[in-house]
Amino acid sequence: MSCRCHALTRPFVAFSTGFQSTRAGPGLSAGSHAPSSSPGSPGKCYTAAFTISTSESAQGAVKRNVMPKTVDGQITMEKTPSYFVTNEAPKRIHSMAKDIKLIVVVRNPVTRAISDYTQTLSKKPEIPTFEVLAFKNRTLGLIDASWSAIRIGLYALHLENWLQFFPLSQILFVSGERLIVDPAGEMAKVQDFLGLTRVVTEKHFYFNKTKGFPCLKKPEDSGAPRCLGKSKGRTHPRIDPDVIHRLRKFYKPFNVMFYQMTGQDFQWEQEEVDK
């Protein structure tokens, strides 16, 4: 997303646990993302992804060198979902920039797990059913927390790892649910967190009924709106209600712990009651 920015002395990293499948692995390779504007162009935010080396030597210097250079009026944003669930990531990011700001997008872990499975199913239609993968023993109701689609939703456990290196004041948690129904409201929190003037407002969004997600209007009608790609907003497969019920029970204590740790009630349990 393209936006006007104000000077900020620190970069920030964004993790989205909710809207795409995330797979953490050794080395934490993020791949390459083309920047939305070239380094040196004032008044722009741009993104870049980099690989966190497995080498412990000079990690901070290496990671800083692969980040785009910025000038006054620019902010560098790095975004890779798998960082949040990778054990080595907090230490290595901390070695790069101790005062970095972190933004984490989270959503109901049950819905997140089904979305993750749906994404994988679209690429590998031969995989077992969600019900088979979610349980170690369905008769006994034993959830398989080693399956990444389930494990990623244990937000409290992942956050404990990050809090060993970063204070809570440097982390903003964005609600994936509210980001859909009130994108301007969530973006206001992001802009405040980054010390920016609230430039992105309600007028920059419209709701795409076909996809079921908001789209971002480009400034001054400079081009077509930015909407989620074809890989997003897929129809989820039908999951046995008993499986969903068991998953809700499984996640509930972890959700409560996460609410207490962040000081935010994401109301995922209430959301499930309302359905």
Half-sphere exposure of 221 toward its Cβ, with a 13 Å CA cutoff? 0
Query: Would you say 4 is a known binding-site residue?
Result: no
User: 């049950």: which residue's tokens?
Assistant: 110
- Cα separation, 45 vs 167, in Å, equals 25
Query: Would you say 115 is a known binding-site residue?
Result: yes
Residue 205: which of 217, 221, 213, 218 has the closest Cα?
217
Query: Would you say 236 is a known binding-site residue?
Result: yes
CB 172 within 8 A of CB 189: yes
- Cα separation, 142 vs 249, in Å, equals 11
Residue 205: which of 216, 196, 190 has the closest Cα?
216
Query: Would you say 232 is a known binding-site residue?
Result: yes
Query: Would you say 107 is a known binding-site residue?
Result: yes
Residue 18: which of 259, 265, 228 has the closest Cα?
228
- Cα separation, 215 vs 204, in Å, equals 8
Query: Would you say 153 is a known binding-site residue?
Result: no
Which amino acids are annotated as binding site for 3'-phosphoadenylyl sulfate, given as ranges?
A: 107, 115, 232-236
Which amino acids are annotated as binding site, given as ranges?
A: 107, 115, 232-236
